[in-house]
Amino acid sequence: MYDNTFQAFGMVKDILKSISKEMNLNVAGLDARVRLEYTDRSNFDAQIRVAGDILLFSMHSNIFQFDREHPAWKTSYIQKNKYNAYSGIINIYNFLADSFKYSRQDDLGYLIARIFINHENQYFVEGKRQMGMLFSNYGSEELTRTSLQNIIQTAVQYALEFDLLVPPYDTVKIATVAQAEAKIQHSRSITGKRLGFQFNSDDVLGNNSKKT
């Protein structure tokens, strides 16, 4: 499982580099702010900046079993072999590019999808909106470069459509002197596309939305 997930993450990195190169050729001569920028952060982390957004792809180094309440346990694929319930995970987070640019350590990111990959290289994607609706194939389709490319393109599209919202007034109406100084010096007021970190899972196995 680890080997399958690590190999898939290598493909993720390669796809991100290819997408960046291709898109940048297409927008050559236009505003530099619309260019894509790929960064290989470590063996287990990579990111791509798209305009004002950063998509961070992070592979966990451990293997997990689905919790007993997860709808995956209801599939015939897992019921016939409990070992199929173990998988590696690649998480996809959406951050604002300015959060990294200005080192705003308290800014918020959002988990928009996670890719589960098991010992047979079977996979499914659990995620938000488009991410949760497109991939309902656990136990019937091996993970390929093409499927990963579709996942990444869908994640980029979702991030671009995920708007920055003004936080509720009551959450920002009081500030300390230290917070004001930090904002002036480092632009470190807490910012995120939604207030708080909440992942509403619209998973591909038909589970109802839930908070984690």
User: pLDDT by residue (tens digit) across 120-150?
Assistant: 999 988 886 555 544 456 788 889 999 999 9
How many CB atoms neighbour CB 207 within 10 A? 16
The answer as to whether 207 is a domain residue is: no
Whether 66 maps to a domain, the answer reads yes
The count of structural domains within the chain is: 1
Q: Tokens 């930090």 — which residue?
A: 182
Instruction: Note whether residue 210 is domain-resident.
Output: no
Per the model's pLDDT, the better-predicted residue between 124 and 107 turns out to be 124
Mean residue pLDDT across the chain: 76
Of 212 and 85, more confident: 85
- pLDDT of residue 46 exceeding 80: yes
In a domain? residue 158: yes
Residue 62 burial (10 A CB sphere; 0-12, 13-18, 19+): exposed
Q: What is the pTM of this model?
A: 0.75
Q: Give the residue with greater pLDDT, 118 vs 157.
A: 118
Distance CA 172, CA 13 (A): 38
What DSSP designation does 68 have?
T
Q: Which ranges in the chain belong to alpha helices (H)? A: 2-26, 76-79, 97-101, 130-134, 145-161, 169-172, 177-186
The whole domain housing 11 covers 2-186
Please state the separation of Cα 21 from the chain's center in Å: 21
Q: To 10 degrees, what angle do helices 145-161 and 2-26 make?
A: 60
Q: What is the mean pLDDT of residues 47-59?
A: 89
Q: Is there a domain that residue 125 lies in? A: yes
pLDDT of residue 118: 93
| HSE value, Cβ hemisphere, 13 Å, CA-based, for 126 | 24
Region 110-126 average pLDDT: 90
Cβ-contact 92, 111 below 8 angstroms: yes
User: pLDDT tens digits for 163-210?
Assistant: 655 556 665 566 666 666 666 555 445 555 553 333 344 334 434 333
How much is the pLDDT for 212? 35
| Residue 64 falls inside a structural domain | yes
Residue 181 falls inside a structural domain: yes
Q: Evaluate whether residue 129 is within a structural domain.
A: yes
